[in-house]
Amino acid sequence: MRPARRARTLVAAVATSVCFGLSGESGRPTPPEPTPAVTPSPARPDAALEAAEANAPPTAAPSAFGPVIWRELRYAARKLIFGASTAIRIESAPARGLAGALKRPPNARPVPLPEGDVVALSMTTDLPFGRDEKVTLWLDPMSGAALGAEKTVVGGNSYHKLLRFTDGGLYTWRSAPASAREERLGPEGWTARKQYMTQPAVGPPGGTPVTDAYALLYLVSAARLDRKDTSLRLVVLADKGYAELVFASGGLSRLRASFDESWPGGTRRRDGDVLVRTVRATARAVDAAHPQDDVDLGFLGMRGALTVLVEVGSGIPVAFSGRAEHVGNLTVRLDRAALAAPPPDLHP
């Protein structure tokens, strides 16, 4: 299985629906279409926006990622009559506790665990037709480097994977049910097993942190791309090779949004205009021999470019859009946000 197929989640759910049962581990991309942008409020002269932009301090690209205000984000995507939702949760976990959970790949040097804590990022996706997916990804909180992951998909073409990032690629242990009877047993009883190494011929310079596509929304928040003149460069393992993603913050606008927000001791419903900064991401293959005009972002099945609208002040991605395999242009919107503390606009 190609590494990028690991990153379908929400977009794959809609793609599976539209394509009436396409597996998500196979299939070819649709022909290129213009990449959309999430549509904010109509552009017009706005003194408040101009003043906010003029007063926003520029922020240099971070040498390390900072904390984020949210603990859980839930998104929804819809296409035609189909839809799906996914929840992203984060928490800290002691790095020493992963030593037993992450296998050591044979004949490869795994990305070393940091001292102290790691970021544990989990994604749970409700897919149509009874197909569900659960992923846990562990990250170095300072560099954003992916350490390892565990993924389970059940309900048609079920499988379980344990992934370990190495200094030259990705090692995978995969199991799947060998029969319909085995599928009912759960991952512990699946006997169709294999393991393999994905090691592209051309990689980034030595020492470059390599992250995973599941972490992109978290890293956009942690890098505070809602601030003026910020940028972020990331390397991910997508398709059969490495890709470099460049995120650049743009101008301010207002987006009509509707989502629930909660924090310890409080809740509210957000219905109305949200001040957002447009962040655009483009990708290029690290291997110059690969096609550069339609690079797999490794992000939820999207290709070529990505637009993220990030709420100013909180750093929360409230919407993102791009061109997805089998689906075409697609916009995904925030439905719910659980925060670790009261939102910035409620602080005294």
Residue that the structure tokens 């932009």 belong to: 53
Q: Is residue 243 part of a domain?
A: yes
Q: Domain residues for 301?
A: 3-341
Share above pLDDT 90 across residues of the chain, in percent, rounded to a whole number: 54
Which tokens go with 303? 């290709």
Q: Is the pLDDT confidence value at 50 over 80?
A: no
Let me know if residue 227 belongs to a domain.
yes
Would you state the pLDDT for residue 252? 95
Per-residue pLDDT tens for 149-189? 999 998 878 999 999 999 999 999 999 999 988 888 888 89
For residue 16, the model assigns a pLDDT of: 38
In a domain, 289, yes or no: yes
User: pLDDT category, 319, cuts 50, 70, 90?
Assistant: very high
Q: Is residue 270 part of a domain?
A: yes
Confidence of residue 345 (pLDDT cuts 50, 70, 90): confident
For residue 348, is it within any domain? no
Closest CA to 145 of 215, 197, 201: 215
On average, the pLDDT of the chain sits at: 82
The three-state (H, E, C) secondary structure of the chain, written as one string:
CCHHHHHCHHHHHHHHHHCCCCCCCCCCCCCCCCCCCCCCCCCCCCHHHHHHHHHCCCCCCCCCCCCCCEEEEEEEEEECCEEEEEEEEEEEEEHHHHCCCCCCCCCCCECCCCCCEEEEEEEEEECHHHCEEEEEEEECCCCCCEEEEEEEEECCCCEEEEEEEECCEEEEEEEECCCHHHHCCCHHHCCEEEEEEECCCCCCCCCCCEECHHHHHHHHHHCCCCCCCCEEEEEEEECCEEEEEEEEEEEEEEEEEEEEEEECCEEEEEEEEEEEEEEEEEEEECCCCCCCCCCEEEECCEEEEEEEEEECCCCCEEEEEEEECCCEEEEEEEEEEEECCCCHHHCC
Q: Would residue 39 count as lying in a domain? A: yes
The residue ranking higher by pLDDT, 194 or 180, is 194
Does some domain include residue 23? yes
The tokens 């059969």 sit on which residue? Answer: 240
Residue 22 main-chain phi, psi, to 5 deg: -60, 140
Residues 222 and 67: beta-carbon distance below 8 Å: yes
38 vs 25, higher pLDDT: 38
Categorize the per-residue pLDDT at 38 as very low, low, confident or very high, splitting at 50, 70 and 90: low
**pTM listed for this prediction:** 0.83
CA distance 302 to 243: 13
If we measure between CA atoms, which residue out of 242, 194, 238, 248 comes closest to residue 214? 238
Q: What total of structural domains would you count in the chain?
A: 1
